[in-house]
C-alpha cells in the first residue's frame, strides 16, 4: 500500500506521454462531473421518496443523517460508518431499534447503489476512451453486471475499483483502462459511500413506516442515558 501512489503515478505518466493532446484530461473531468451528478440525483431521489412515503420533511431527514454522511465521506467505508448510521437513524429519525438493527447491517453489506452507478459510468467511459462502440446488449450487460458486482463489493475503501474488473471483463473492455480513472477514484469513492449510507437510512425509514415502527417524535439520548439500567 505504501508503494501504491508511486504505481498510480507511473500508470498515469505513461498515459500522459502517450496522449497526443489534452482531450484525455477534459474527458476525465467530464467523467467525474457525470458520476457526481448521478450521485446527487440519487440523493435527491432518496429524499423525495422519504418525503412522499413517511411525510417527513427533507430538512428533517438531512439534518438527522448528515453526521453519518460526513463520516461516510471521510472514511469511504459503509462498515465503519454503520454504528453512527444506526445511532442517527434510531435517535434522530425515529426508526425503532428492531428495524434499524436488521435493515442497516444488511444495507451496509449489499446496498451499494452509488458504487453500481460509478461502475457503469466508468465502464462506458473507458470503452469510449479506447474507441469501442458498445452495442445495446453490451450496455445492458454492463448494467446487470455492475448491479451484481456492487452487491458483492466489500464495505471498505477501494472495493468498487476491484469489482470494476469484473464489469470490464464481461463487456470485453481492456482492463488497462483502469489506469485512466485511478487519479480521481478516491474522491469519487468518498462521494459514492455517502450515497450508499443515505440509501440505507432512507430504506430503514420506509421499512419502519411500513411496519408501524417509525416514531413521531425521535428520542435523542444523552451520554448518561446509555448507562441507565
Q: Which CATH superfamily is domain 21-214 in?
A: Sodium:dicarboxylate symporter (1.10.3860.10)
Residue 16's pLDDT band (boundaries 50, 70, 90)? Answer: low
pTM for the whole structure:
0.81
What digits encode the pLDDT tens for the residues 81-124?
899 999 999 989 989 988 999 999 988 888 888 888 888 898 88
Q: How confident is the model at residue 187 (pLDDT cuts 50, 70, 90)?
A: confident
Checking if the pLDDT of 8 tops 80, the result is no
What residue segments make up the domains of the chain, in order of their start? Answer: 21-214
Question: DSSP labels for the chain?
Answer: -TTHHHHHHHHHHHHHHH-SSTHHHHHHHHHHHHHHHHHHHHHHHHHHHHHHHH---HHHHHHHHHHHHHHHHHH--HHHHHHHHHHHHHHTS-B-HHHHHHHHHHHHHH--HHHHHHHHHHHHHHHHHTT----HHHHHHHHHHHHHHHHHS-SSTTHHHHHHHHHHHHHT--GGGHHHHHHHHHHHHHHHHHHHHHHHHHHHHHHHHHTT-B-SS--PPPGGGGG--
Amino acid at each position: 500500500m505504501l508503494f501504491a501512489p508511486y504505481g498510480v503515478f507511473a500508470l498515469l505518466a505513461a498515459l500522459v506521454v502517450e496522449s497526443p493532446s489534452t482531450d484525455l484530461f477534459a474527458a476525465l473531468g467530464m467523467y467525474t462531473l457525470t458520476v457526481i451528478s448521478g450521485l446527487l440525483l440519487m440523493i435527491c431521489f432518496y429524499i423525495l421518496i422519504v418525503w412522499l412515503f413517511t411525510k417527513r420533511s427533507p430538512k428533517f431527514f438531512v439534518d438527522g443523517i448528515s453526521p453519518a454522511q460526513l463520516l461516510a465521506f471521510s472514511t469511504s467505508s459503509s462498515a465503519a460508518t454503520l454504528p453512527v448510521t444506526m445511532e442517527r437513524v434510531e435517535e434522530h429519525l425515529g426508526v425503532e431499534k428492531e428495524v434499524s438493527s436488521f435493515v442497516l447491517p444488511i444495507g451496509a453489506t449489499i446496498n451499494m447503489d452509488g458504487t453500481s452507478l460509478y461502475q457503469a459510468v466508468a465502464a462506458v467511459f473507458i470503452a469510449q476512451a479506447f474507441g469501442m462502440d458498445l452495442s445495446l446488449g453490451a450496455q445492458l450487460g454492463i448494467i446487470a453486471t455492475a448491479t451484481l458486482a456492487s452487491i458483492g463489493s466489500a464495505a471498505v475503501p477501494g472495493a468498487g475499483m476491484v469489482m470494476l474488473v469484473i464489469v470490464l471483463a464481461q463487456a470485453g473492455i481492456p482492463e488497462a483502462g483502469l489506469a485512466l480513472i485511478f487519479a480521481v477514484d478516491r474522491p469519487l469513492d468518498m462521494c459514492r459511500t455517502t450515497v450508499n449510507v443515505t440509501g440505507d437510512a432512507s430504506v430503514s425509514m420506509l421499512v419502519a413506516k411500513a411496519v408501524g415502527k417509525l416514531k413521531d417524535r425521535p428520542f435523542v439520548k444523552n451520554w448518561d442515558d446509555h448507562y441507565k439500567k
